[in-house]
Every structure is written in structure tokens, then in C-alpha cells.
Structure 1
Amino acid sequence: MVAALELYLDVDATRRVRALWRALEAEGIPTLASLLNDKHRPHVSLAAARTLEPSTIVEALDGLTVGRGLTLELNFVGQFVGRVLWLGVTPTASLLAHHADVHARLAAAGVETWELYQPGRWVPHCTVSMRVPNPQMAQAVRRCLEILPLHATVTGAAVADHANGIDVPLT
């Protein structure tokens, strides 16, 4: 299971990422659209762990406007080991400072997150697919490049664990 603190993109950016997902799905490349029956929406995860208790996260982040208003520039395509394909977010000073602030508050509340999401290790990204078939990776990368660059504004955030039906918005 995976739980995450997700940042959500504005309407236009969300529409463009969903159009990319549909194009890839039409070519037989699975995306987040088909993972867990379309429960995912385009997002950038600030933190992830096997589980996150929503009430603890809400309390830890009380008084902080999580992500809202941040400007994101998605300018490149990347891959993680395991056939994971993503759109890369340029790591600006304001994004990295916000990320560090969120993690400092989570740590102070005793919330443990995966090391790869910790400040200094985090690669900001918007996942496209968790399992691109190897023979179709080049095709998928080309399709991703067609929508870049992508300018987005963060319009909301939530604690989400889609496999367990958890989706708790943050203010």
C-alpha cells in the first residue's frame, strides 16, 4: 500500500495530463488513469509512506497552506527503476523550501515518510505510469514530450491512500 501527501494541479494542467493518460492508454500503455479504477488524479507527491494517518497529518500541518498557489514548471520526462514514467518538475527554491517545511512539521509530529521523499533526496514529479512495458518506453517518452513544457499552479492538497479509499483534503 502507498499513502501520499498529494498536491493537485490547476484545471488546465490536469486536463492536459489526463489527455496524455488517455493517449497512452489508447496505445496500450497503462497509466495512473487505469490504476485502481481511475481513482488517481494528476498530482505531485510531497511525502509518501506505507500508511499515513490523515488526522495526524492534518494536525501536523495545521496553519500551513499546503502547496496552494505554488507554481510548478514541468519541463522534462524521467524514469524510475521498475518502468515508472513521470513528468519532471523543476525544483525551484520556493518548492524545495515548502517541501522542507512540510517535512519538518511531519517529523516534529512523529510521522515517518519514505527516505526517497525526504528533503535532499526528493525528485519532484508527476507520475504518468507505474508500469510502462519495456518495448513501449520510447514511444511513451515521446508522447510525454508532446505536452511539455507544462505550467501548473497548485490548487489543493490531500492525504490520499487510493487503495484504501482515503482522500482527505487539506486546507
Structure 2
Amino acid sequence: MVAAIELYLDVDATRRIRTLWRSLEAEGVPTLAGLLGNRHRPHVSLAAAPRLDPHAVSSALSGLEVGRGLALSMDFTGQFVGRVLWLGITPTEELLAHHRAVHERLAAAGVEVWEHYRPGRWVPHCTISMRVPNPQMAHAVRRCIEVLPLRATVTGAAVADHANDIDHRLGTAGPHEPS
């Protein structure tokens, strides 16, 4: 199981990523579109852990417009060990400061997250597939490159644990706090 704080993208970016997912699925590459009964939507995870208490996260992030309005630029593709394919987000000072602010609040509230999502280790990305078949990796990478560059604006956020039907929207009250 994986729970995450997910940032959701504007309509155009979401549509373009869903089109990429459908194209890859039609070519035999499983994507997030088909994982867990189509519960996933295009997103960027700010933090992840085996479990996240949505109410503890909401409380820790109270008053912070989590991600809302951040401009993201997806300019490259990459892979993680285990055949995970993603669109890479060019890190900006604003994005990294916001990420750091979220993690400082989570840590102060005692909310544990995986080390590789913490500031200084996090690789900003939008996952396309969790398990690209090895013989299809080069083709899948080329297909991803075809949609780049992709610009997106964050329109909302949630604590999501799709395996457990958790989709807890994070509030948008208060000013955007980049640091």
C-alpha cells in the first residue's frame, strides 16, 4: 500500500497525460490509468508513505494552500529502478521551497514519510507507469518524449490512498506560502 500527498494538474495537462496513458495502454504498456480500477489521475506526489492519516496531514498543513497555483514544467522523462517511467519536472526555487514547507509542517506534526520524498532527495515527477515491460521501455520513453514539453498548473491537492479508497481533499484556505 502507498499513501501520498498528490498535487493535481490543470485540465489541459491532465488531458494530455491521460492521452499518453491511453496511447501506451493501447500498445501494451500498463500505466496508472489501469492501476487499481482507474482510480488514479495525473498527479505529482509531494510525499508518500505506507499510510498517511488524512486528518493528521490536513491539520499539519492547515492554512497552507498545498501546491495551488504552482507552475510546473515537465521537460524530460526518466526511470526509477523497477521499471517505473515518469515525466520529470524541472525543479524551481518556488517548487522546492513549497515542498520544503510541506515537509517541515509534516515533521513538526510527527507525520512520517518515506526518506526519498524528503527535501534534498525528492525527484519531482509525474508517474506514467509503475511497470513498463523491459522490451517496451525504449518505445515507452520515446512516446513520453513526444508529449514534452508539458506545462501544468497545480489546481488542488489531496491525501490519496487508492487501495483503501481514501481521497481526502486538502483545504485551500489561507495564502500560498512558498517557504
TM-score, normalised to structure 2's length?
A: 0.95
Tell me the distance in 2 between the aligned counterparts of 1:38 and 1:137: 22
* Deviations 1:60-107, CA, capped at 9 Å, x for gaps: 000000000000000000000000000000010000000000000000
* Deviations 1:104-125, CA, capped at 9 Å, x for gaps: 0000000010000000000000
Tell me the distance in 2 between the aligned counterparts of 1:149 and 1:43: 16
Does residue 1:43 correspond to 2:46, yes or no?
no
Query: Displacement, 1:135?
Result: 0.1
Q: Output aligned runs, 1:14-163, within 5 Å.
A: 14-163=14-163
* Deviations 1:112-141, CA, capped at 9 Å, x for gaps: 100000000000000000000000000000
* Deviations 1:20-71, CA, capped at 9 Å, x for gaps: 0000000000000010010000000000000000000000000000000000
The residue number in structure 2 matching 1:166 is 166
Tell me the distance in 2 between the aligned counterparts of 1:145 and 1:108: 39
Structure 2: which amino acid aligns with 1:69?
A: G
**SS where residue 40 of structure 1 aligns?**
coil
The residue number in structure 1 matching 2:6 is 6
**SS where residue 58 of structure 2 aligns?**
helix
Tell me the distance in 1 between the aligned counterparts of 2:112 and 2:162: 19
Structure 1: which amino acid aligns with 2:107?
A: A
Q: Show structure 1 runs of 5+ residues with no match.
A: none
**SS where residue 33 of structure 1 aligns?**
helix
Q: Show structure 2 runs of 5+ residues with no match.
A: 172-179
Tell me the distance in 2 between the aligned counterparts of 1:154 and 1:129: 21
Tell me the distance in 1 between the aligned counterparts of 2:53 and 2:29: 33
Aligned length: 171
Query: Displacement, 1:152?
Result: 0.1
